[in-house]
Structure 1
């Protein structure tokens, strides 16, 4: 069988794509390496809470249940995604690892762990989070120091007694530092000035205001998009700010190196810790896509709103793919709808 469309990735982007594909006569399947829909969220740290309220955390066609102004947990989102796939009877092929994608004549061959799937068109919806980014000097630290990337961290039961250094100033690093500061001497290493934003203003979600001023739908080429794009992500909420003020979380400069049991920072200060959480983000990994035309000299994907130069191959769920919210639950649906219209041309 040759599918009309194969979607690679069964997270929020892939499911939103499936919702719109269900409205067409195209044959399709969604491939995902997890055992269950939503597992990518279930595997994240136990205390994870989204900074977008429920009213801005839904995919097209199905609202997330609960208080619209409240903030969902990671397990809520995982269960919601599973419900979403069931509600729209999306054709999922789970425990399916994609090893290679190549093009032969006018069709794509998707090599998986147990078969080769053929398709006229392919949508890569694997998102921006691939390989954990950990500095090379991490291997020089002694083995008795617990080191975990934020994607591996679940809860404090994994850690040694003593102090902990969280490296990275995004919202994950902030949440983890706040959580650990109640039980550990906690340090947060960050390379830029922290910008805090409120979760709500005047009784309205911060994202409600962003929608009103057009930020959520701002393209990267717009005036407001150029102002925001490339800036470090702000920290939503003021829990970390209070912890820093009360000296429960101690700020450190950018982490520069580590040797033996000493970590050195950009300001030349040093620290001995028993635990390190690398909240340092991810590197892109598209080595499994054997189609050179997709990438520029720096390995970045060449696309226009997710449409590539390789006829029939598309991306979905990339940061700033079309607008500020493209990689978020609240924005991926519009990009999926755009691609479906393009598929039918």
Structure 2
């Protein structure tokens, strides 16, 4: 049974950042990754994806993203960056090593995997949530004859050429996939069930993330109240587009509901010019389309479920107590949990940028672990 000072589950941004920060403090770290390369989730994202947070706030600890890159790096550039980051800090994960369970074993943790067992006094869960796609069910779905996929399976518009496509959901994936399809000339409709929040990617020429960081010390209600007039001016009226702005502001939505508002990169403009149609929520499926709750049935050749992800980490840690909410998500990330030596990194949505928050959490975890090792 191989042992180390700390075991990190996952070789994405959170796992690599934690490993680098711990290595810098002289800790022996073992990274376990079920895929065959680092950044496996980023490799699977749709082709047109770019970071929604700016380059300057998206680098991991100890290595900035290249200044020659655009303000919002592409998916491929993020993969290149994470590969370079692993090389820079000599991080060599154990690949093709899927973790089944993590259990307490005396004062240590025993990690059971497809490649045997590993043990360490510290375990960091840095799996992210992209391996847990949420696929809601509607009446009639089993009878639907068209293409039905989750957004995690979408790559580019090629498979949808000449088809009539419905994208379900108005988060960042839904909005950007609909935009991708519209720009390729695909007949696309968005199903939007309820009130939404929309943010411009930049406000007054400054990345919206910069505003969020500057206001991080303010209570969510106060920040939302201050920002509301400028945001309304930036995005323009949307009611005639079939959209309703939620009463709860974007900062509160993130902190209280863990929902990320749409960061608009062009979707609203294509809704306004008619290239993207908007409908309400789905009531049921038919053999060749869907029936909407407040509008007639329409035929669709393909339906893409941009309905997000819902991780449940309880099966991974079946004996852990007091660390999960009722849905199996960690109560805290980047901090000490109720289980000694157990940490989570990057598993709660952040209003100030996920990659930035991962860096903050990784440094904090490394400091806490190093202090316990003395």
What TM-score, normalized by structure 1, do the two folds share? 0.90
User: In the alignment, what sits opposite 1:337?
Assistant: 363
User: In the alignment, what sits opposite 1:82?
Assistant: 83
CA apart distance, 1:261 = 2.2
Alignment of 1:226-265 (within 5 A): 226=252, 228-230=254-256, 232-237=259-264, 239-265=266-292
CA apart distance, 1:307 = 2.1
CA apart distance, 1:336 = 1.1
Greater mean deviation of Cα atoms: 99-108 or 294-303:
294-303
Matched, 1:204 2:206: yes
C-alpha contact (below 8 Å) 1:133/1:282 kept by paired residues: yes
Alignment of 1:1-345 (within 5 A): 1-67=2-68, 70-137=71-138, 140-142=141-143, 144-159=145-160, 161-182=162-183, 183-214=185-216, 226=252, 228-230=254-256, 232-237=259-264, 239-286=266-313, 287-293=315-321, 294-303=323-332, 305-320=334-349, 324-325=351-352, 328-343=354-369, 344-345=371-372
- Separation of aligned partners in 2, 1:213 and 1:65: 27
Distance 1:296 1:154, change over 3 A: closer
CA apart distance, 1:139 = 7.5
CA apart distance, 1:288 = 2.2
- Separation of aligned partners in 2, 1:113 and 1:285: 20
What secondary structure is seen at the aligned counterpart in 2 of 1:137?
Answer: coil
- Separation of aligned partners in 1, 2:96 and 2:272: 46
C-alpha contact (below 8 Å) 2:33/2:93 kept by paired residues: yes
Gaps of 5+ in 1: none
What secondary structure is seen at the aligned counterpart in 2 of 1:337?
Answer: helix
Structure number having the greater strand percentage: 1
Structure number having the greater helix percentage: 2
Greater mean deviation of Cα atoms: 192-201 or 280-289:
192-201
CA apart distance, 1:298 = 4.5
Give a deviation string over 1:1-52, Cα, whole Å, max 9, x none: 4211000011111111011101122211111112111221111111111221
- Separation of aligned partners in 2, 1:168 and 1:250: 13
